Amino acid sequence: MALPPLEAEESLHHADELPETVSEEAIHGRSPMQIAFERLRHDKVAIFSAAVILFFILVAIFAPLICKAFGVELRAYPGSEIIDINTTFGKVGPPDHGFTWDHPLGVERGTGNDLLAEWVYGCRTSLMVASIATILSTAIGILIGLVAGFSHGWLDRGLTFVVDLFLSFPFILGALTLAPIIYSHWAGDASKLGVAQFWALIGVLTIFTWMPLARLIRGEVFSLREREFIQAARVIGVPTRRILFKELLPNLIAPIVIFFSLSLPALVTAEAGLAFLGIGLTERPSWGQTINKAVPYFDQFPLWLWAPVLGVMALVLALNLLGDAIRDAFDPKTRR
């Protein structure tokens, strides 16, 4: 059945408009960053890992409030009202007594420190050390990688030699060498010793972790510096500093984000490992230090050891899973 002329003209008019509307929506482009975040938003593992990491971050930020809410504290000196002189464990709570909300995880042998308070403040210490060291090592790696990759001749060779030199130096040997020096200078002042250990540990972790990013950035800059937009910027006289940080750096966001997300869990583990070996932090609570103290008493008080171990495992696993998800999201060859 044929349509009247007026209705036929209107249907043709709407038919002409529909493809145009669809094509405009289909043509709407997205940046690589938007594509990566869209992939992460649909990745259930990444969302769950981010939620776990957010939990630990909130614990670290609000550590004093959490301890106050539970009524637990770190004791400056052991008290007879809390320590059993016969076993040197707590008079309440595990391992010799039942569960109590006054000390949910028990108290530390000898000192009377509440183990929940030590766990909470240990989380803060681990995240602070790892985060600051990761930020500093990322900044150093970016700077040296940009300069080495963009320069020619002796400067590139000199910076490459420095990178290879630091890569050849054993990490544990550097930490073992630095620890006695710190103890000898600030052994008489506990407050200064704690601050010195904190920043010395961050320095050690930073000094021995920036090299992989520097080599990665240098390799990426090698290919980018020959692109037309970089050559055009050099021809018109754009300053080198602007080329490095305004033209090259935005094109290196993906490897930088990936390095940061994968370095953070590695440094959390490194901080705990150094504290466990007795060359990390000794004047403030940390998970590694708690593990070190709890190992000899595992048969009598397993919860003392398992609480920090599970904390390290959960945090590092979540950071690694999120790092893998970020790496896959920024990789244009993956389709998840």
Q: List pLDDT tens digits, range 126-135.
A: 889 989 999 9
What the block records as the tokens of 279 is: 């060359």
Categorize the per-residue pLDDT at 11 as very low, low, confident or very high, splitting at 50, 70 and 90: very low
Query: Cα-atom radius of gyration of the chain, to the nearest Å?
Result: 28
| Confidence band for 78, pLDDT divided at 50, 70 and 90 | low
* 28 has pLDDT over 70: no
Tell me what pLDDT residue 89 has.
Answer: 76
pTM: 0.79
Distance CA 314, CA 325 (A): 16
pLDDT, tens digit, for every residue of 290-307?
A: 888 888 888 888 888 898
Mean pLDDT over 142-161 rounds to 88
Per-residue pLDDT at 184 exceeds 60: yes
Task: List the alpha helices (DSSP H) in 42-153.
Answer: 44-61, 63-70, 115-150
pLDDT band at 283 (very low <50, low <70, confident <90, very high): confident
pLDDT value for 243: 85
What domains does the chain contain, in order, with CATH numbers?
44-74+114-330 (1.10.3720.10)
CA 161 from chain centre, in angstroms, equals 28
Q: Which amino acid is at 209?
A: T
pLDDT value for 188? 66
Residue 336 has pLDDT above 50, yes or no: no
Residue 315, CA distances (Å) to 223, 266, 287 in order: 36, 11, 12
Question: What helix, strand, coil percent values describe the chain, rounded to 5?
Answer: 75, 0, 25
Q: What pLDDT is attached to residue 22? A: 45
The residue that leads in pLDDT, 51 or 30, is 51
